[in-house]
Amino acid sequence: YVFDVGEETNIDAVSLSYGASHPMLKGGTIVSCILESMYAYGTIASREGSVLDPSEALRKRNILKHLPAVDFTAGIQNAFVERNSLSYIDDGHTRSIPEMEGGRFMFRIVGGLDDSMLAKPDPSIVKEGIKFISNFGVSSFAMNSETCVNEFPELDIFEDSKLISTITGTFDGSVTCHLRPQNIRESTSSSAPNVFNPLEAYELDFSGSSVSLRLKEATFNLDHRRVIVPTETTFGVRVNRSIVNMMFEGTTHAVIAWDFQGSSPVLQVSKVGYNPVRVSHEDRAQVHLLIKDL
């Protein structure tokens, strides 16, 4: 069998609205999002050698080979939250107002293929198992939040204090997950591999995945205290190598990086009862939170 989805398959726009509330719970949630230019294309076919033999030993390792050969891609070219949609997220403790523009998402599923089946070589394809590839990003997002804080008089935090935060920026990333039979000679488990146990039969490879975040603005206010994060601060995580079994036992080597663009987050403090945003420079003290290299 072979099923093809043509490259011309698309949906112009879809409006999604999600709401949640409960009479026994505080808060509620309403989020409306517009998805534009949704697309999908690919092929699903029977995998080579995928003949089910009832007399075959019930080894869990053989399940994957009965999956179809697949190369399927779908995605969204633009997603955004309407400014006038009155979207909010409230769990009874924190109330947030989300904003988003220029969102994009693409995922691809490949498996059971080799170069001989394609018109041109593709380093993403796999013959054994199945691989999930996802690329995503947002060109602009904002999150304005108010969080109730428990009273702590020793730190000058009193009743009805709220942590007010504003975060704006961009983010993007790529996540790759390859589900395949576990290598018997190189077990990622703390015990020897057991091909008859479904939790020991497969492994997941997340190598090459990465996520990055760039902040245009980030401030946090708690009564008479305020923390300001430098503009264009970036955070990133890259997974150089990660192979785990189905219980997520294994080895992972990742790099976590951050860059404050040569500056430091700043803590500003004013007199109790005054907001550091509204007082003059003379009535506000500040200190850099990072210590310079000696």
pLDDT in tens, 99-147: 999 999 999 999 887 655 555 667 777 778 889 999 999 999 999 999 9
**Sequence letter at residue 93:** H
pTM for the model: 0.79
Residue 294's pLDDT band (boundaries 50, 70, 90)? Answer: very low
Residues 73-105: tens digit of each pLDDT: 999 999 999 877 789 999 888 999 999 999 999
Residues 145-186: tens digit of each pLDDT: 999 999 888 888 888 889 999 999 999 999 999 988 876 555
DSSP H or E segment with residue 280: none
More confident residue, 118 or 70: 70
Judge contact between 224 and 273, C-beta under 8 A: yes
Is pLDDT at 197 greater than 70 in this prediction?
Answer: no
**Which residues are CB-contacts of 87 (< 8 A; sequence separation ≥ 6)?**
30, 31, 32, 81, 97, 98
